[in-house]
Structure 1
Amino acid sequence: MELDLFAAQLSFPLDGFQAEACRALESGHGVLVCAPTGAGKTVIGEFAVHLALKSGHKCFYTTPIKALSNQKYADLVERYGKADVGLLTGDVSINSDAPVVVMTTEVLRNMLYANSPTLRGLSHVVMDEVHYLADRFRGAVWEEVILHLPDDVRLVSLSATVSNAEEFGAWMETVRGDTEVVVDEVRPIPLWQHMMVGRRLFDLFDTTAQDADPAARLVIDRDLVRHLKQRQSLDRYDNWQPRGRGRGPSQSSGTRPLPRPEVIARLDEEGLLPAITFIFSRAGCDAAVAQCLRSRLRLTTDEQADEIVRIIDKHTGELPKHDLSVLGYWEWREGLERGIAGHHAGMLPAFRHTVEELFVKGLVRAVFATETLALGINMPARTVVLERLVKYNGETHAELTPGEYTQLTGRAGRRGIDVEGHAVVLWQPGVEATEVAGLASTRTFPLRSSFRPSYNMSINLIDRMGATEARGLLERSFAQFQADRSVVGMVRSIEKDERALAELREQLGGEDSEYFEYAQLRERIRARERQLERQGRTDRRGDAVAALTALRRGDVIGIPVGRRSGLAVVLEPDHDPTDPRPLVLTEDKWAGRISAADFPSPAQALGTMRLPRHVQHRTARTRRDLASALRSTGIVAPTRYSKRKSPAASDRELATLRRALRDHPCHTAPDRERLSRIGERYNRLAREVDSKRQKVAATTNSLARTFDRILRLLAERGYIDTDGGVTENGHRLMRLYSESDLLVAECLRHGTWKGLSPAELAGVVSALVFESRQDATTADRGPTPPLQRALGETVRLWSALRTDEVAHKLPLTREPDFGFVTAIHMWARGEPLADTLLAAGDRGQALSAGDFVRWCRQVIDLLDQVHQTAPDPEVRSAAAKAVGAIRRGVVAVDAA
């Protein structure tokens, strides 16, 4: 057996789940393996590589991110040699014809759509971190690959522990055929849960109770509970005490969290380093490292520091010397020499890779990281520390879910090094032990599909299989599989509710009774009132939209409600008849776009003010000066705003229904109130049943309906011909893999980007990939007239596309963001890194080097696509030159 030969080459015996999955794979089955972080799932992927090589076939090993692909490539090269292993990550291509190729999942998806000859001879595909298909931005790629791979390719899907593994496996069985699900929930390294309160480290759970009965319910440690009660008493006493001379809050009780250097030193005393401390902000990670550097904390010997310097030079030797200070190199290097580092997406990739290697080698012993480190990078630690149980999710501050807690703490415990791992939550005022225990003891992490048809996906499906087959494929997706399962439960619920409705009807005397008629009359009145309320809202919005579209540049208006209420001046009008969003500046120095939702009563121009020809509203000084000028106009915002009269007040139908209710015989019946309550229950339940029926109808074939809407829009715009075939423009769209794919295709089709220099083309392309960390903007029109024209035309095409998307009830293409235009234009023209980072920043803060490189790479990626697809040879040439101009300095080093 090949498994015996493979296992004999390993330095450790296979665990039960590994052996079970490998046996299934050798027997010709596909496998889905769900196991905790660090359990050794990749061994099964490596066995698939072994099987492919032994049979003379190919194996593709896919990962969700480039860093993981690079890491896996290095592992496989060490095992099989450079000749047999290749790497494809979009911007890197090494030995692509090798029998084993490591790649990002997007690369494989693109290969499948292009029918790449590289697919010939493929027998196995490993999909590492397949639970990424829940990612709302990129998750659809995983399902596309699973659905499109030829049936004879064996799929090895490796996932973190999910609570609905059987459901996911049942879907895989449906779409891929014979698939064995292997679930292992036992961590190879036991995890101990702790809370650190001040300098004291407590077990979270009472382990003695568990030792006596392993099946017993988890009990919070009594010493911890008692100590926290004492802390809370000290807090209350301290808050009651009057503030004396020089005394600040909480200084006497010592209830503040321990400073970070002291936390690390305390863990070191307990033998719990190396440790990863998760801090949910990049600035927080950098501040933590700076705090440690200001202390006397040192975690390395002189010999280790020498080794660290050697590894630093290996990774960063090619960085331009004149950029080192701008990159924060010397502070970063000092931290590493002392065994301390940060790790987040804002760091230069070369810096991150250095930290990863030093941590794995045990030379860096304290890392402060954002949660992105928990997404598969091989950086396990003895201990994971959580400073807070709340993180910003992009929209609001939200509490950690049990799944997120499990994923983060899963980094604790290094296989083959540690006998146990440790998770430490730092106590803060307001944190309850029961809250931490709830997170630590819950293992619910359901996998939910994020699959939705896009323009690029739809046009590729049409070209490959036609509309009918494509609908069938969409209906086989995991998203539709889950939706259909939810429909089954909803239908059962409807059946139960209908039985309850029948019982309530009987209590009212049946459908022909006067009481039932009376109840229905009340329901008709309620429905008419709701209808009139909706009509009023629609009319109010229509008035608000009309008023917004009539505004001109320089008009001063009053925003009636919300955080932005008060005076504002219009910087950039918007005449979109469906959803105008003019750009304004308020008297409080806020600049952004407003919408009809901000105006319960229509906006009115209260006056006008002169504006500079070009308003750089993203700079604080400009906002401050304009806000001051606005306040000095003497225009006063109204204190009261007129409100439209409710349509219900003059509605004849509603008046007739109310009169009929008063005249009904049951209106004066002695048991009217009792029966009315029954009638209300009946009507409420009937409304719920109707809502559920609508959900069932909407859920059934929902993806296919979205697909049909996309096809109608593409046909209207000339990407699909009258016979359902793909046009020349459609073939261009097939090769554009971007969040704004159709907008890019429209810009190329209309020649919007003709006549631009390479730097100008880079600038306009950046508007379709960049996302500002603050409010997006389209006000900064670029540094040159041709670029300003191109950006203006791009926005016009986007606005027209959005109007069509609204009409077809499709998700909206996001607005172009000009926040990176000036910076990428400067960089492509050869200007210094320091100036470029400052131009790319916000509110006077320079953009981080890591973010700069990341956005440059995304611009390069889209420019490469433009180079391949643009119909105009000048645009193709400018795109190729732009790529070369951007790929210099720090960008070139990290693209190598």
Structure 2
Amino acid sequence: MTDSHIARFFIDRYAQRGIILDDFQRQAMRALEAGHDVLVCAPTGSGKTVVAEYAVELALAREQRCIYTAPIKALSNQKFRDLCSRIGAEHVGLLTGDQTIRRHAPILVVTTEVLRNMLFVHDDMISDVGYVVLDEVHYLADPFRGPVWEEIILQLPAQVRLVSLSATIANVEEFSRWLTSVRGEVEVIVSQVRPVPLQQHVAVGHKLLPLYGSSGEVSAALRRADERMSERRSGRIGFSRRKRILDILGRHDLLPAIEFIFSRKGCDRAVSDLLEADITLTTSAQQKQIGQRLSTLRAALTAEDRRTVRFEYWAQAMRRGYCAHHAGIFPPLKELAEDLMEAGLLKLVYATGTLALGIDMPVRTVVLEETKRWNGADFVDLSATEYTQLIGRAGRRGRDQVGHAVVMHSSDLDVDYLADLGSGRVDPLLSAFFPSYNSVVNLLAYHDYAQARAIMGTSFAQFQRNADLGQMRGRIARLRARLAQLEESLQDMCEYGDVLDYIRARERGGRASKSARRRAKEAYRLRIIESWNGVRTGRVYAFACHGELDYAVVLSVGSKRLRIIDVSGALRWLYFDDLSSALREVADIDLPFGISVKDREVRRDIASRIDRLVRDRFEWGADADLEMSWDRFADVCDPAVHNHPVHQCPHRADHIEYAAQWVTLHRQLAHLEEQSESFDDSVAKEFDATVRVLGYLGYIQGIPKDTADFTDIAPRIGRVKLAGGAQLLRGVHSEADLLICLSLAQAQLRDMTPAEFAGVMSVFLADRRLGSGMPTRPTLRRAWRAIERDQEYLTAIEAQQGITRTPELFTGAMDAFCAWAEGAQLEHVLRAGNFVVGDFISANRRLIDLLGQVEMVEASEYLTSTAHQARLAITKWTWL
């Protein structure tokens, strides 16, 4: 069958389902037929996976293998089920580290980590691969797992066609240039069109108001409602407000929906409230279908396990048409919720943000309770990309004419910020790549030192740093020119002597005395008052409030406050008591008579003009001295300062004030020069540092001991020898890879039972959610103390080399996994460790994967046997 016949058959098959393929999908298909790599960037829900499915068709027709990757196991499992139903289960395999199904099938669905490991060990299977799909490739910006994507791209054989799928990214040109530099010709296909248009609303009270008006600005109706509601306290979002939203969705025919809450407890509470209120969203026929699907899962669980995972509770909610979706729920129940939603049987899902990662659960409407999320340390605003990805779930192709996004109004909601988020603006893709210990030893197993180092240098991280380096060097040149001008004026400023020489002496000098600092504080307060009294309208000033730099134009002057428009376009009062610096005049700005500063367009224009005036000053840090403490005017306790001629000048304080910009720019220049040096060949230097750690520990031989920089000598090093321990390190891909290898050599980790071994290995999951309680069993405590010593030793060596690789470990699950492997019931384990079932099962899956890695390495008979038995002992169900 020719490619044209394959394409026609493929297109007709979609047409039979009522779907006409878009131009971007057909363009990507033609590129694959022509033998090109493709990068497809399109909005969530636009049908990017059609391109991946065509790669599958081409692979089958050409008798090649296609590997389909996804960033998380849930996505891999979903795509596996989907492909089995489309092309037949006999053609599809699944490899996720903890699961292996039909490994030698022509179409393999794998997690990115599995593919990465296959490439590093030069798996024979790769020779048959014709196509690799990297789904959600923008995930390479993830700080923990992102480097895996880059390692795949760098290691993938040239003859394999790469299909990269991504949500829309701001710097697609930069990313595609890098792909071209490492892969050759790449066809970039970008689509901004959603097949199902999206309408965005804000729910205010009982009303649903459009976010945008006809002009593309915040709608007049929403603006009026927002001003009316801004003085009211919204309070905690509870049942009454969620019930109100549900009524609105029902009244406007906007179900099914996902409501993002960003809190596990919030999701569970929302479901509980609906159950207590006896709310049902499904028909009797739908309840029957849901019940049939629930019965299959019920039969697979014991009565005790059903009680432990609250099966009947969630089953009752599902039959009524709603559920929660987050990492704490029993995974089979969560996957069933996804299937029920996809089948149109669930009407409402309360979810945390993890659902937006790419799980195929399209709905008619997405509701956001707020535009902030918890990042593990604090509540932060959603980024443009996060918001776009969340609302991208709205609108089902072939079923909805329009998708809807609804944000619940609150007193904290900034409607202008929301309008900016919803405008389609997205964030740039930033590499999170670094050379791990496992990566380094695998590269050095097949390449000489210079080749391995060069591969690291072709990463996207270095590509971006090279671009930044060019901009940085331009800024350095401009800074030097500006400093030269300032130095010339400073040298001729004072008749007593060279002011610049005096300022340099102060920079080198010691700390001022207490009394001098007190006098300086009083003097600087007078300077602030003097600058305040000299303020004039129509002028742009730089100043600091509570230590933070700002720029604004003054509209009116009062005794204790100024009416200003700042660089963000905000109209506000600047109070004297809030100032922490003097006001520095920057420039005049022409304000036409009679303008209305209440007009947002006028304020936006003024803000734009301020921005143009201060952009270079801000980039150079010309006014950063305003953020510093007043004590820069204090007399420094140093003879070189006090004996300097300028120190006797009665205008000394004025000279110091004038020279403040030189001081700031000089420090900025030093910082940029240091940063520039660190960016130059930085990834390769990180590779060198990682190698030095491995060499110090004896994993690599033939590395120079006393050389800090390998740049010049790398070509002369040639092939290095990997010591025995490196074989184990090559097979362990984990955040704690080297620490695992060090610890497994300890006597305290030998002669353990498989159950104890499972408990000990759980600490290397580095999972904060498992807690930090100390194990009670003596064997586990001894093992932990040995691991802890290794951790301290390793992090100290890393610190000497200027790198951070080893993560923080958590001991809270050691007893639990030991008991679990010995046959304890799930209910007992969860209660003893105070674990949430979803967290424990997720950790269990990752522990199965880690034990499997140790087992496969075959470092010793003991490790192989013990890891094998431990893995079997914690694999309690088929879905684990």
Q: Structure 2 length normalisation: TM-score? A: 0.80
Q: Is the 8 A contact 1:190 1:420 kept in 2?
A: yes
In the TM superposition, what whole-angstrom CA distance separates every residue of 1:553-580 from its partner, at most 9, and x where no partner exists?
xxxxxxxxxxxxxxxxxxxxxxxxxxxx
71-80 vs 165-174, which moves further:
71-80
**1:735 is aligned with what amino acid?**
G
**Partner residue in 1 for 2:844:** 856
Instruction: Say whether the 8 Å CA contact 2:131–2:163 is kept in structure 1.
Output: yes
C-alpha distance in 1 between matches for 2:246 and 2:239: 13
Q: Is the 8 A contact 2:56 2:107 kept in 1?
A: yes
- 2:437 corresponds to which of 435, 448, 455: 455
Are 1:894 and 2:879 counterparts?
yes
| Distance (whole Å) between structure 2 residues aligned to residue 464 and residue 436 of structure 1 | 51
The answer to whether residue 604 in structure 2 is matched with residue 656 in structure 1 is no
| The 10-residue stretch of structure 1 (456-465 or 166-175) with the greater mean CA deviation from structure 2 | 456-465
Counterpart check, 1:529 vs 2:510? yes
Q: How does 1:875-886 map to 2 (within 5 A)?
A: 875-886=863-874
Find the counterpart in structure 2 of residue 393 from structure 1.
375
For 1:113, give the aligned amino acid. F
Deviation at 1:89, TM superposition (A): 1.2
Whether 1:474 and 2:456 are equivalent positions in the alignment is yes
Matched, 1:708 2:706: no
Q: Taking structure 1 as reference, are residues 745 and 530 closer, same or farther at Cα in structure 2, changes over 3 Å only? A: farther
* 1:225-374 map, 5 Å: 225-232=223-230, 235=232, 258-374=240-356
Which residue is 2:563 aligned to? none
RMSD across aligned positions (CA):
2.5
One-letter amino acid matched to 1:736: V
Alpha-carbon separation, structure 2, partners of 1:717 and 1:289:
53
Q: Aligned equivalents of 2:794 and 2:670: distance in 1?
A: 34
For 2:272 and 2:197, how far apart are their aligned partners in 1? 33
Does the CA-based 8 Å contact 1:508-1:516 persist in structure 2? no
Map residues 193-204 of structure 1 onto 2, 5 A cutoff. Answer: 193-204=200-211
In structure 2, C-alpha distance between the alignment counterparts of 1:674 and 1:655, rounded to whole Å: 20
Match of 2:499 in 1: 518
Among candidates 680, 683, 688, match of residue 668 of structure 2? 688
Distance, in Å, in 1 between the alignment partners of 2:761 and 2:161 is 39
- Report how far residue 173 of structure 1 moved: 0.6
Distance 1:801 1:867 in 2: 24
Equivalence for 1:242:
none
Rate the CA distance shift 1:255–1:772 in 2: closer, same or farther, 3 A. closer
Distance of aligned partners of 1:515 and 1:37 in 2 relative to their CA distance in 1, 3 Å threshold: farther
- Matched-pair contact (CA < 8 Å) for 2:510–2:636: no
| CA positional deviation for 1:654 | 5.5
Deviations 1:645-691 (A, max 9, x none): xxx9xxx9962212232xx1x44457655554443322321221121
Indicate the residue corresponding to 1:181 in structure 2. Answer: 188
SS at 1:733's partner residue? helix
For 2:369, give the aligned amino acid.
E
Q: How does 1:116-127 map to 2 (within 5 A)?
A: 116-127=123-134
Separation of aligned partners in 2, 1:278 and 1:345: 14
- Structure 1 window deviating more from structure 2 (671-680 vs 92-101): it is 671-680
CA distance in 1, matches of 2:496, 2:92: 79
TM-score normalized by the length of structure 1? 0.79
2: CA distance, partners of 1:878 / 1:146: 35
Distance 2:443 2:291 in 1: 52
**Matched ranges for 1:615-764 at <5 A:** 655-661=638-644, 664=645, 666-669=646-649, 675-722=655-702, 724-764=720-760
Is the partner of 2:447 in helix, strand or coil?
A: helix
Question: What is the deviation of 1:483?
Answer: 0.8
- Give, in angstroms, the shift of residue 504 of structure 1: 1.7
What is the distance in 2 between the residues matched to 1:531 and 1:731? Answer: 58
Q: Give 2:25's aligned residue.
A: 18
**Alignment CA distance shift 1:741-1:531 (3 Å):** farther
For residues 461-502 of structure 1, the C-alpha deviation after alignment (integer angstroms, 9 at most, x for no partner) is: 111212211111111100111111111111111111122122
2:808 corresponding residue in structure 1: 815
**Alpha-carbon offset, residue 136 of structure 1:** 0.7
CA distance 1:504–1:730, change in 2 (3 Å): same
SS state at 1:103 partner: strand
Equivalent in the alignment of 1:835: 828
Residue 9 of structure 1, CA deviation:
2.7
* 1:75-86 map, 5 Å: 75-86=82-93
CA–CA distance in 2 between the matches of 1:256 and 1:855? Answer: 31
Aligned to 1:556: none
In the superposition, relative to structure 1, how do residues 783 and 660 fare at CA in structure 2: closer, same or farther (>3 Å)?
same
Q: What do the CA deviations read for 1:291-340 (whole angstroms, capped 9, x no partner)?
A: 11111321111111011000112234211222211211111011011001
Secondary structure of 2:660's aligned partner: helix
Q: Post-superposition shift, 1:886?
A: 1.1
The answer (yes or no) to whether the contact 1:257–1:427 under 8 Å persists in 2 is no
Q: Given the superposition, is the C-alpha separation of residues 22 and 510 from structure 1 closer, same or farther in structure 2, using an over 3 Å criterion?
A: farther
Equivalent position to 1:134, from 136, 141, 144: 141
Distance 1:256 1:394, change over 3 A: closer
Output aligned runs, 1:538-577, within 5 Å. Answer: none
Shift of 1:82: 2.3
What letter is aligned with 2:221? Answer: D
Paired residues of 1:278 and 1:386 also in contact (CA < 8 A): yes
Q: Which residue of 2 aligns with 1:60?
A: 67
Q: Please state whether the residue corresponding to 2:57 is helix, strand or coil.
A: helix
Q: 1:439 to 1:532 in 2, by over 3 A?
A: farther
- For residue 755 of structure 2, give the secondary structure of its aligned residue in structure 1: helix
- Confirm whether residue 147 of structure 1 aligns to residue 170 of structure 2: no
What's the secondary structure of 2:810's corresponding residue?
coil
Aligned 8 A contact 1:380 1:412 in 2: yes
Hey, what does 1:71 align to over in structure 2?
A: 78
Aligned to 1:221: 219
The structural deviation recorded for 1:433 is: 2.4
User: Helix, strand or coil for the counterpart of 1:272?
Assistant: coil
Matched with 1:38 is 45
1:861-896 deviation line (CA, Å, top 9, x unaligned): 2222222336442333222221121111xxx1422x
Q: Does the Cα contact within 8 Å between 1:257 and 1:428 map onto a contact in 2?
A: no
- Among the aligned pairs, what percent are the same residue? 39
Contact 1:519 1:680 survives alignment (8 Å)? no
Structure 1 stretch displaced more, 103-112 or 295-304: 295-304
Paired residue type of 1:725: K
Q: Give distance in 2, aligned partners of 1:805 and 1:671.
A: 51
Whole-Å Cα distance in 2 between the matches of residues 108 and 482 of structure 1? 25
The amino acid of 2:295's aligned partner reads: D
| 1:138-168 per-position Cα deviation (integer Å, ceiling 9, x unaligned) | 0000000000001111111000011111110
Ranges in structure 2 where 5+ consecutive residues have no aligned partner:
515-630, 704-719
Query: How many Å apart are 1:840 and its aligned residue?
Result: 1.9
* Alignment: residue pair count: 738
Task: Please tell me whether the aligned partners of residues 462 and 470 of structure 1 are also in contact (alpha carbons under 8 angstroms).
Answer: yes
Any idea what SS the aligned residue of 2:769 has?
Answer: coil
Deviation, structure 1 residue 516: 8.0
Q: Does structure 2 conserve the Cα–Cα contact (< 8 Å) formed by 1:748 and 1:870?
A: no
CA contact (8 A) 2:509 2:641 kept: no
Aligned residue identity for 2:273: Q
| Aligned residue identity for 1:680 | A
Could you say if the C-alpha distance between residues 717 and 14 of structure 1 is closer, same or farther in structure 2, counting changes exceeding 3 Å?
Answer: same
CA–CA distance in structure 1, aligned partners of residues 681 and 848 of structure 2: 38
* Aligned 8 A contact 2:780 2:814 in 1: no
Q: Which residue of 2 aligns with 1:783?
A: 776
The residue number in structure 2 matching 1:501 is 483
CA contact (8 A) 2:731 2:854 kept: no
Decide whether the 8 Å contact of 2:388 with 2:426 is kept in 1: no
Give the 3-state SS of the residue equivalent to 1:501 in structure 2.
helix
